[in-house]
Amino acid sequence: HLDQAACAGCGVKLQTEDQSALGYVPKQALSRTPVICQRCFRIKNYNEVSGITLDQDDFLKLLSHVGTTRSLVVNIVDIFDFEGSLISGLPRFVGNNPVVLAVNKIDLLPKVTNYNKIVNWVQRQAKEFGLKVVEVVLCSAKQNMGFERVVEALDKHRDGRDIYVVGATNVGKSTLINRLIRDYSDLDAELTTSQYPGTTLDLVKIPLDDGTFVIDTPGIVYKHRLTELVSKRDLQKVMPDRPLKPLVFQLNEQQTLFFGSLARFDFVQGARQSFTFYVSNALNVHRTKLERADELYEEHNGEMLAPPAREELELLPKLVKHTVRIPKGKLYDVSISGLGWVKANSDAGADLVIHAPRGVKVAVRESMI
């Protein structure tokens, strides 16, 4: 009976309702024996992991044993949403195990980027978050950049350990693991469900050729990322799929920019200066005077100011204001989780108000580029 049935692969409790949750199995597949969940099925038959998600609390529960094992933890983060995709609580659950930070999607950075500077920036940011990492590797799972360096880092730090791969949703975890599987295992020939010894852990253990395992964990859903709040269709517009072409605006105080109806940038006070916007080039940017901005939004949200379109705007949390003071003396970014970031190109300071859907994380950080 389904109530008690467990996946013969990973041991997770089976369910037929929610495709993106653990243990999903299509109803018609229940008659097969042994019954395995869709996630295990895909690995077994297509050599492919697919995204399964959990919220942060359940994720930490699922992974609480990692600190007591001898493992290597690979945390994949998304360079386009660095703060938003970092896993809070990671230092606690990894215990003394080494952590490799794989920073994915670097193909999105502008072509002229100095990667050494980015690595240093990531190291400083990670430290600020209290995360000790043995290595930072930049990569692009999609464009096959830096993948050798990821594999080298794994070889260097694993020392016979199993590898836990953890990450928020949409950071490219599946894409990266699928590359690993393709290069390091021979699943076609070898895999049977009994080769998943991860029973009752709800984790998929994928055997590699050298007898160790890569353990795929569910992607963590963070509601503070815009990418979790928009519709599938708008996700394509919000998540860039090619190198960013930064938008530079010379702004006077009391000017406003709209990013569709998804976010609004008010330059409230400060000397005239330029701001560089690193957002998906599929977004529609509209400039106006601050005093006109409320009215413009009322009149044109979901239409001229899109995405989202009117029907989908209702599903998005309302915009709320974040008062942001950019300090003097250094260069800073303001990041809007999932939407991108704005670099203030002057060290003269500025007072801003960022309007973003309720819950979306807005933060000031040392500038990345």
Binding site for ligand GDP (CB under 6 A): 51, 104-105, 107-108, 140-143, 167, 169-175, 219, 241
CB of 19 within 8 A of CB of 204?
no
Q: What is the DSSP letter of 294?
A: H
Nearer to ligand GDP, 99 or 171 (CB): 171
CB 181 to ligand GDP: min, Å: 13
CB 65 to ligand GDP: min, Å: 22
* Position of minimal CB gap to ligand GDP: 172
CB 164 to ligand GDP: min, Å: 14
Nearer to ligand GDP, 19 or 143 (CB): 143
Instruction: Give the closest residue to 172 by CA, choosing from 198, 148, 152, 144.
Output: 144
| Beta partners for residue 55, in sequence order | 221
CB 289 to ligand GDP: min, Å: 35
Nearer to ligand GDP, 170 or 337 (CB): 170
CB of 53 within 8 A of CB of 59?
no
Separation CA 135–CA 221 (nearest Å) = 25
Q: How is 145-179 classified by DSSP, letter by letter?
A: BSHHHHHHHHHHHHTT-EEEEEEBTTSSHHHHHHH
Nearer to ligand GDP, 58 or 351 (CB): 58
What distances in angstroms separate CA 364 from CA 61, 322, 342, one per listed residue? 31, 11, 9
Cβ count within 10 A of residue 233: 11
Nearer to ligand GDP, 51 or 246 (CB): 51
CB 39 to ligand GDP: min, Å: 11
Nearer to ligand GDP, 105 or 237 (CB): 105
CB of 303 within 8 A of CB of 310?
yes
| Beta partners for residue 216, in sequence order | 165, 204
CB 249 to ligand GDP: min, Å: 24
What distances in angstroms separate CA 270 from CA 116, 326, 328, one per listed residue? 32, 10, 11
- Burial of residue 298 (CB within 10 Å: 0-12, 13-18, 19+) is exposed
Nearer to ligand GDP, 220 or 364 (CB): 220
CB 172 to ligand GDP: min, Å: 3
Nearer to ligand GDP, 167 or 270 (CB): 167
Instruction: Give the closest residue to 84 by CA, choosing from 171, 8, 153.
Output: 171
CB 227 to ligand GDP: min, Å: 9
Nearer to ligand GDP, 63 or 364 (CB): 63
Nearest-Å Rg of the Cα atoms of the chain is 22
- Burial of residue 126 (CB within 10 Å: 0-12, 13-18, 19+) is buried
- Side chain identity, residue 255: Q
CB 60 to ligand GDP: min, Å: 18
